[in-house]
Amino acid sequence: MRIAYQGEPGAYSEAAALRLNSDAEVIPRSSFEEVFTAVSAQKVTHGIIPIENTIGGTIHRNYDLLLEHELPIVGEVKLLIQHHLIVLNGTSKDQVRRVYSHPQGLAQCDLFLRTLKSVEIVATYDTAGSAKMIKEQNLENSAAIASERAAKHFDLKVLESGIQDYKDNFTRFLLIGKEDRPLGQPDKTTIVFSVNNEAGALVKALSVFAEREIDLTKLESRPIPAKPFEYLFYADLVTHREDVQCVRALKHLSEFAASIRVLGSYPSWSQS
């Protein structure tokens, strides 16, 4: 298995890929778009993308990319995210004048960052990439928020550990593939649908699952670019799409939904 991920070595996405399959060959890419392109071009067998975090919320761009590409979701993994303040060896906390990280990393450490005085907060493309930049540019007055793995990879010092706002800070990642081959027995299905802009349309759509006792663990709306103030709805269903009740629910929904598409059925992550 060859898995593309966004970021540099030491990125949380790399750790998620290896948690899913410790024997996988992990391939870094600079953007989420390049992860999808690598899978589409079959340069890798799979791609892994973060989709939501328990502090920072949804990574909206990846929902859009799931719609733009015909790459089914075949698995998921949840990873405990522990952020660290990382500096060059010899740099002390009172020397730090800039802190670099991905916007999600900065958002997840907001309370800690507020305690720093006279420090500029700078958003970058990647947590591990921020550590790489400090190492390569020898930034003596700067720090990165990244993983312990990134600190070790770039030979940097962990100045402070566990600086995220909440101890239970998890990110859920989705595994996408060129072929629809789930990594195990599917018990979860992700769909995207739209409804006509009329009173009660969304309630009617959700009722097809409620009346069949199909649990929804997530419902996310995203704007439709060509239709101002109209929305697509992404939903995670606790069922396999081939389950009889799910088949009936989706058929019922298709009778009045403006559009509907199954993005994948896959095994939910059950490990702690």
The tokens for 30 are: 């600079």
What sections of the chain are H helices per DSSP? 12-20, 32-40, 60-68, 103-108, 110-114, 127-136, 148-153, 201-210, 244-254
**Structure tokens belonging to residue 48:** 């892994």
Q: Is 193 annotated as catalytic? A: no
Instruction: Tell me the HSE value of 180 on the side-chain side, using a 13 A CA sphere.
Output: 9
Q: Which of 124, 171, 189, 190 is catalytic?
A: 171
**What are the φ/ψ torsions at residue 102 (nearest 5 degrees)?**
-65, 150
- Nearest Cα to 233, choosing from 58, 78, 108? 58
Here the tokens at position 219 are: 């419902």
> Which residue in the list 32, 36, 112, 173 is annotated as catalytic?
173
- State how beta strands 2-6 and 46-53 pair: parallel
How far CA 177 is from CA of 14, 49, 238, 260, in Å, comes to 16, 11, 21, 20
Any catalytic annotation for residue 217? no
Tokens read off for 47: 């791609």
Show which residues are catalytic.
171, 173
